[in-house]
Amino acid sequence: MDWNALALSLRLAAVTTAILLALAPPLAWWLATTRWRWRHVADALVAMPMILPPTVLGYYLLLALGPRSPAGALLARLTGQSLPFTFPGLVVGSVIYSLPFAVQPMRASFARVDRELVEAAWCLGASRLRTFARVVLPLSRAGVVAAAVLTFVHTLGEFGVVLMLGGNLPGRTRTVSVAIYDQVQSLDYAAANRTAGVLVALSFALLALTYHAQREGTPRWPTT
């Protein structure tokens, strides 16, 4: 059992979830409400990481963040380090990889909020931001919880992006799924079993929590 790898994965998942909880709500709200004619393009872009093979995503991120790309060079100058094969690099990859898992549940919840409630808030003098914070978000609690848990679990289990972008540096970029891969490669099936078991249990517990949160969702109007 590679506890270092598990701790690193948990840390990566927590940081990724925290960042996406800040980034995804405005993006999801925009997608749910915009009447922009190219909104389907934005929808497709956000959904891309869901269907792209993780190795492909990881490969492009490696190129984009590497020292030979303009963006990578700029980042390296600003931060004093190159992102690939570091924890911050993994965070960037995970945020992009898990973006659809954060945005989609929120977008669906936001779209279900009755437009009349939003309009009522506006007529009561609430700015768009206050309307979002005081009306839309509280009524979308289940969707936000689902987004957080899905992001966390999805990041916990990622493999391809991590391997391409982070490599396999123990204590720095070796996540739990990479550790399992290593254990199998070295024919240590007992260790692989234990690590995989912990991951399954953890993922299941978190998903069960999500469904519980959705069941406990904000009461809706009685449908008459």
Partner 1 sequence: MADDLIARVELRPAGGPPRAVALSLGGDAFPIAVLFGPSGAGKSTLLRCIAGLERPAAGVVRWRDRAWFGAATWVPPQDRDVGFVAQQGALFPHLDVADNVAFGLAALGPAERARRVAEVLDRFDLAGLRRRAPATLSGGERQRVALARAVARRPSLLLLDEPFSALDHPARAALRADLRRWVRALGLPTLLVTHDPAEAMAVGDTLVVLDAGQVRQTGPVGAVFERPCDAATARILGVDTLVAATVLRAGAGTAVVRAGDGELTVSAPEGLAGRVRVCVRAEDVTLRAGNPGAEGNGAPGRVLRVDDEGAFAVVSLDCGFPLVARLPRRALRALGLAAGDAVFAAIDPSAAWAVADG
Q: Give contact residues for partner 1 (rule: CB under 8 A).
A: 114, 116-117, 119-127, 130, 134-135, 138-139, 218-222
| Residue 216: CB minimum distance to partner 1, A | 13
Is the distance from CB of 207 to CB of 149 less than 8 angstroms?
yes
Integer Cα distance of 175 and 169 in angstroms: 9
| Residue 30: CB minimum distance to partner 1, A | 18
Which CB, 6 or 113, lies closer to partner 1? 113
Residue entry with tokens 């380090």: 81
Rounded to whole angstroms, what are the CA distances from 104 to 83, 96, 195, 201, 218?
A: 28, 13, 30, 25, 19
Which CB, 126 or 206, lies closer to partner 1? 126
Which CB, 131 or 210, lies closer to partner 1? 131
**Considering only CA atoms, which of 143, 127, 125, 120 is closest in space to residue 25?**
143
Is the distance from CB of 91 to CB of 15 less than 8 angstroms?
yes
Which CB, 80 or 222, lies closer to partner 1? 222
Integer Cα distance of 114 and 179 in angstroms: 46
Alpha-helix runs per DSSP H in the chain: 3-33, 39-51, 54-65, 70-79, 87-112, 115-123, 128-131, 137-139, 141-156, 160-166, 176-185, 189-215
| Residue 80: CB minimum distance to partner 1, A | 44
Which CB, 114 or 186, lies closer to partner 1? 114
Which CB, 57 or 145, lies closer to partner 1? 145
| Residue 103: CB minimum distance to partner 1, A | 23
| Residue 220: CB minimum distance to partner 1, A | 7
At CA 69, angle to CA 152 and CA 151, rounded to 5?
Answer: 5
| Residue 124: CB minimum distance to partner 1, A | 3
